[in-house]
Structure 1
Amino acid sequence: MTLLDVARGAYVRLPLSTRAYVGRVLQHVPTSMKFGGTYKHWRQQIARGRTDLAFVEAYRRAELSEVISRAVQRSPYYARTLGPIVGDRRGEALMDDAVWSRLPILSRQTVLDHREEMCTVPSDTLDRASTDGSSGQPLSFLLDRNRSPIEYAFIHDAWSRAGFTAGDWRCVFRGFDLIDGRGRHMEREPALRELRLSVFHLNDETMPRYLEAIRDGGIKFIHGYPSAISIFAEYLMRNGIAPLSQIRGIFPISEKFYPHQRETMQQAFDQARIVPFYGLSEKVAFAVERDGEPDTYEFSPLYGYTELVDDDGRPVTTPGAVGRIVSTGLLYKGMPLIRYDTRDEAELVERPDAHNGYTLVLRGLAPRRSSEYVVGRSGTLIPFCGLCVPIDSRDLTREVQFIQDKPGEVDLLVVTEKGETPDLSEYLDRMALRADGDLGINLRLVDQLPMSGRGKRKFIDQRLDVPRD
């Protein structure tokens, strides 16, 4: 590992003000040096995996054995739960369905309850990360440092289908904390070559400035929430600006990508290739949409050991059958997630074997996040993903729900551990800064969340008349 590998991984963890300064310096560093040897190594491994099936087979066997062995030997939780089942099995014996299916499926509640016990290294050598809690149950966990170059290797490989290279600029529609603060709805992030566009201000006053910045910068690629990109595409079409043929690649992330959104983007960006990928904050699986087959995804056998299982945890083997996605991450071993239940569902197309390069192929992914909106005071539609979900520093937050019945105001209901009061002031300040006066979030601590007439808890209870997918 080189010093630049470490620096690249640490960059995204810097305070905003420091990152702004460092970014101005890093923009002058050659791309090959900026991403470092780890990035280059994984781009080569991914390319090799497409043609060298013997390499993929040996890699899967060796890495899975390493993950399990390390977990059993170094993690108190896995020593207790997996040790008696695994014994001395390795490689093919471990991957046999009859053996593998005996390993317990890991729930997010188990992760929450045993996080420290699951680590194979001291927890203070890992980074704290979290999911967005889109089920209403936030989850924090620990990840290896220096993961950024590896993640970018997989992502850039996917985007290269649209002609993207690591040196290209792209505009990004996501829920950013913008370095320049209030009154600034976009900024240039030179180190990562991102034109960052606020999803809190997708209105006819701000989007012309977004368009001008994209044109002036000669930007060819758009990356972000499909709900936000669709709003921008609809603006272009409504005002007779589309098609914007300058754009050559669209990279939707984080939400379910609906057919009508794809159609809108194809009309607004007629020269763009759309490349969706599936990834998780927990870093256990990575998949890219198959060329020419919308909504069909190929899971990387180098990234995770991914399965489709039925309600009883048994392997789904019949094409066309639906199951839920369970995966074991192969790349990050500091806090391994073994047979982690993603709670996402899909239909089986192909099981991994030698004929398809050990690639699991699934159709109709139903991810945890859908395209939902809240409404700002100005009437602007704000993609919900931009809000994110609060997790306090002491992990007291157990369940959350957002309720909106008035434009510009959202009630955040929070159920905490044993009724203790979490400190969510930092989260509320961040959201106020992002929204820049167009949205207020009112925190309410409650004993339990209200349920619908069918006995279910809604994560987002949107009571206004807004688009629904």
Structure 2
Amino acid sequence: MNALDVARGAYARLPLGTRLGLGRVLRHVPPALKYGGTYRTWRARIARAGRDPAFAQAAQDAALLALVARARDASPAWRARLAPALGDGPLDGAALRAAWARIPVLTGAEVVAEGRRLCTRDPSRLDECVTGGSSGRPVKFLIDRGRSPIEYAFVHDAWARAGFGPGDTRAVFRGVDIAGPDHMHDEPALGELRCSVFHLSDGVMAGYLAAIRARGIAFLHGYPSALAIFAAYVLRAHAPLRQIRGVLPVSERIPAPLRRNLERAFPEAVLAPFYGLSEKVAFANEVRGEPDTYAFEPLYGLTEIVDPAGEPVTRPGGRGRLVSTGLLFPGMPLIRYETGDEAELVEAASPQNGARLRVRRIVPRHGHDYLVGRSGILVPLSGMLQVDEEILGVGEFQFVQEEPGRVSLRIVPRNGAVPDFTGYLLRANRKAAGELEMRLEIVDQIPTTVRGKRKFIDQRLPVARDAARLADSDLADADAAAD
């Protein structure tokens, strides 16, 4: 395990007071020492791939061949899946590429069913992780340890487009549990001022704004849905905040109305969004000057757009499913993995463009969904998502809201067994204390739409539906085309 992973895990488990005191010391550790040699090596590789298409293509080819060879040799599940397309003989890069589309797409359900049989090393030496559950069906998977320096290298490279450096401080709007009347606290070791997304009232946001201004914080990081609410407050109660040099959105798409709101509130800021997944199979940066168009990083993974039959979409403008193969963490290879997202092809990957697939209008696993707090404020649903063992023990789940401040978590039991959700509800309700209360509802099935889809959230309050409709208005045509 990498020292950075060990340190981060130990730091996160410390009491808040101890963590803050230690963090003030760690804040002054030079970034080169804090992130280590692996981080520096990958920053250099990423930069070289950006300016040298031949290097990018060759590096991806070599990593792909090594991954598939390892999967076929060390995993019984992968040996069975790959044999029909690749046979049992020696592999070379050209043969692998020629046979690639014949390898079946791997679904999340298959990952859960196969489990440890997909691993190429002792599962006890891997970390257990779970997707965010935004599809209503979370996926448990295993992933290599020691990944933090590599992940930071790609994220910091993306944020560098906005002028961000590893030693800079961010105001972070994500779904963290923050106690106290001001609903914010410092994480100095990580360079973060954490702001609760569950209490975005004018009074609380006034405190956020005052702290950001007083500390000269130049970067905002978090859910676009939460940042847009803060941006609207800034415009309503203050004036455009010109000290912000970068907005670093994560976890959600940025529809045009939200982007305009952010640009008005923070006119000097560069937006530097990236696309990533919990499963660590794909990473893409938004193309400069082309909002909502993303280029995938060839060193991180191999991403394709495929049609319903699993065949590549080759015509620019064609839509399909995003299928990705992660190249960095081979402990449990995810080869041609169904991400659950859809996109429109702009430019296929090729040696000429350094194996960088370009897409636009990525339709995520869920859109911009909001809950309504007891005081009437909007709460981004992304912040409430938590996938614990209880959720993994059910067949399906769905959030339902019929009145402000109250949310029902509907679950469909698996094999008639209902896990104990007491702890789950306590943790969820503590996050949004005073604004939201979650309760459990056991159902036989989750109703579907006329198209057969199951809504991740059944939101029945007009104010939240209107906000989500405004945020996602430019997705409607793409979603219809995908259906």
- TM-score class, shorter: over 0.9
CA contact (8 A) 2:324 2:339 kept: yes
1:276-324 per-position Cα deviation (integer Å, ceiling 9, x unaligned): 1100001000000001001110000000011111111001111111111
Is residue 130–residue 387 contact of structure 2 (8 Å, CA) maintained in 1? no
What is the CA-CA distance between 1:389 and the residue it aligns to?
Answer: 3.8
Deviation at 1:426, TM superposition (A): 3.2
| Pair 1:76-2:73 in alignment | no
Residue 205 of structure 1 aligns to a residue whose secondary structure is: helix
Cα deviations by residue, 1:61-109 (Å, 9 ceiling, x for unpaired): 111111111111111211221134323353422442x400111100010
CA contact (8 A) 1:9 1:146 kept: no
**1:279 equivalenced with 2:271 (yes/no):** no
Q: Distance in 2 between matches of 1:411 and 1:384?
A: 13
**Cα distance in 2 between the residues matched to 1:14 and 1:56:** 39
Of residues 427, 431, 434, the one that matches 1:430 is 427
Does the Cα contact within 8 Å between 2:5 and 2:147 map onto a contact in 1? no
CA distance, structure 2, for counterparts of residue 260 and residue 111 of structure 1: 37
Provide the rounded CA distance (Å) in 2 between the counterparts of 1:292 and 1:391: 39
Equivalent residue for 2:309?
312
Scaled by the length of structure 1, what TM-score is found?
0.94
Q: Of 195, 212, 229, which residue of structure 1 is paired with 2:227?
A: 229
Structure 2 partner of 1:106: 106
| Structure 1 residue 411, shift from structure 2 partner | 0.3
Distance apart, 1:453 and its partner CA: 4.8
TM-superposed deviation, 1:384 = 0.5
Three-state SS of the structure 2 residue aligned to 1:283 is: coil
1:209-220 equivalence runs, <5 A: 209-220=207-218
More helix by share: 2
Find the residue that maps to 2:395 and give its secondary structure.
Answer: strand
SS in 1 for 2:202: coil
Equivalent residue number for residue 387 of structure 1: 384
Take 2:345 and 2:420, find their aligned partners in 1: how far apart are those partners?
A: 43
Structure-2 separation of matches of 1:42 and 1:134: 30
Change (3 A) 1:293 1:89: farther
In structure 1, the residue matched to 2:3 is 4
Q: CA deviation at 1:329?
A: 0.1
**Residue 75 of structure 2 aligns to which amino acid in structure 1?**
S
Partner of residue 364, structure 2: 367
Contact 1:347 1:362 in 2 (8 A): yes
Q: More displaced, 14-23 or 110-119?
A: 14-23
Decide whether the 8 Å contact of 1:251 with 1:275 is kept in 2.
Answer: yes
Partner of 1:204: 202
1:357 aligned to which of 354, 358, 367: 354
SS at match of 1:418: coil
Distance 2:324 2:260 in 1: 31
- 1:305 is paired with a residue of what secondary structure? strand
**Percent of residue pairs identical:** 50
Contact map agreement 2:53 2:352 (CA 8 A) in 1 = no
2:173 alignment partner AA = F
How far apart, CA to CA, are the structure 2 residues paired with 1:326 and 1:362? 13
Distance 1:117 1:332 in 2: 16
Letter in 2 for 1:129: C
* 248 and 335 in structure 1: CA distance in 2 versus 1, 3 angstrom threshold: same
Counterpart-to-counterpart distance in 2, 1:262 and 1:339: 32
After TM superposition, give the deviation of residue 114 of structure 1 in Å. 1.1
Asked whether the equivalents of residues 185 and 194 of structure 2 are also in contact (C-alpha less than 8 Å), the reply is yes
SS of residue paired to 2:51 = coil
Decide whether aligned partners of structure 1 residues 11 and 306 sit closer, same or farther in structure 2, where only a CA change above 3 A counts.
Answer: farther
**2:373 maps to which residue?**
376
1:40 aligns with 2:11: no
Does residue 263 in structure 1 map to residue 286 in structure 2?
no
CA gap of 1:307–1:456, structure 2 versus 1, over 3 A, is closer
Amino acid at match of 1:190: P
Superposition RMSD on alpha carbons, in Å? 1.9
- Per the alignment, do residues 428 and 225 of structure 1 end up closer, same or farther by CA in structure 2, a change over 3 Å counting? same
Aligned mates of 1:213, 1:323 — CA distance in 2 = 44
Displacement of 1:36 after TM fit? 1.1
Secondary structure at the counterpart of residue 210 of structure 1: helix
The one of 407, 411, 419 aligned to 1:410: 407
Cα distance in 1, alignment partners of residues 289 and 442 from structure 2 = 48
Deviations 1:90-147 (A, max 9, x none): 3422442x40011110001001111211111222211121112112112221111121
- Number of residue pairs the alignment of both structures matches: 464
Farther-moved stretch of structure 1 (79-88 vs 299-308): 79-88
Residues 22 and 413 of structure 1: CA distance in aligned 2, closer, same or farther (over 3 Å): farther
Distance 1:212-1:394 versus aligned 2 partners, 3 A rule: closer
Residues in 2 aligned to 1:415 and 1:391: alpha-carbon distance in whole angstroms = 16
Pairing 1:74-223 to 2, within 5 Å after superposition? 74-86=74-86, 87-96=88-97, 98-178=98-178, 181-223=179-221
SS across alignment from 2:190 = coil
Deviation by residue 1:244-298 (Cα, 9 ceiling, x = unmatched):
0000001111112100111111110010001111000010000000010011100
Letter in 1 for 2:82: L
Say if 2:182 and 2:204, in contact at 8 Å, map to a contact too: no
Query: Where in structure 2 are there 5+ consecutive unaligned residues?
Result: 473-483
1:10 to 1:73, Cα distance in 2 relative to 1, 3 A: farther
Query: 2:438 aligns to what SS in structure 1?
Result: strand
Flag structure 1 segments of 5+ consecutive residues without an equivalent.
none
In the other structure, the counterpart of 1:30 is: 30
* 1:198-232 CA distance string (max 9 Å, x none): 00011111000000110111100011111100000
What are the Cα deviations for residues 165-197 of structure 1, in whole angstroms up to 9, with x where unaligned?
00000111100123xx35451111111101111
1:238 and 2:239 are equivalent in the alignment: no
CA contact 2:399–2:410 (8 Å) conserved in 1: yes
Query: Given the superposition, is the C-alpha separation of residues 26 and 83 from structure 1 closer, same or farther in structure 2, using an over 3 Å criterion?
Result: farther
Does the C-alpha gap of structure 1 residues 46 and 248 become closer, same or farther in structure 2, counting only changes over 3 Å? same
| SS of residue matched to 2:251 | coil
1:211 is matched by which residue type in structure 2?
L
